[in-house]
Amino acid sequence: MKSLDVKIVRWPAESGKLEGFRMQGLPCLIVVARGARVPELAGAHEDWVRQPVEAGELKARIASLHLKATSHSAPPVVDEDGILRYGGAVLPLTVSEAEVFRGLVQRRPGMASRAELAERLLSANRSASQNALDLHMMRLRRKVVSVGLAIETVRGRGFLLKTQAVDGPGC
């Protein structure tokens, strides 16, 4: 697995960079200028410090964010380019796989029904037959196991996305 580097963003001067990093699911340390309002954090993969910041504190905050980014506590994310990011791993998905996977993530920890996933495929102008969905699920299962995820079938109804480390082995 490839680890994620913590991105340092100067606020508010580099606010555009922050939005780009957020869309990619990258961990960010926001260095807030004196007198500037602190931005609202978008999740556990962000933290902030105010200028001037001591080198030791900067190093500690970066280490903390790196640990959070490489742990499996954060949910998987599929960016607009179809790249799955989870626990520090980066995994490219096809357009169809990305649509199906987004549906699984959206319903997690619950079940994504076959009808919901087929609808996602149709909205992406992809074949949504039962055979096509089953083929995408088979390929996704093989891919996501390498990043510590598993897809469980709920017979005749849908699918569950599980984390192998948290939800138990062989899920």
> What pLDDT digit, counting tens, does each position of 50-73 carry?
999 999 999 999 988 887 776 656
pLDDT reported for residue 28: 92
Angle between helix 114-123 and 130-144 (nearest 10): 100
pTM, two decimal places: 0.56
- The C-alpha atoms of residue 38 and residue 32 are separated, in whole angstroms, by 6
Alpha helices per DSSP H over the chain = 15-24, 55-70, 95-107, 114-123, 130-144, 164-167
pLDDT reported for residue 123: 87
Under DSSP, is residue 147 helix (H, G, I), strand (E, B) or coil? Answer: helix
In the predicted model, is pLDDT for residue 26 greater than 60?
yes
Q: What is the DSSP letter of 6?
A: P
pLDDT band at 168 (very low <50, low <70, confident <90, very high): very low
In the predicted model, is pLDDT for residue 166 greater than 70?
no
User: Which domains, and CATH codes, for the chain?
Assistant: 7-70 (no CATH), 77-167 (1.10.10.10)
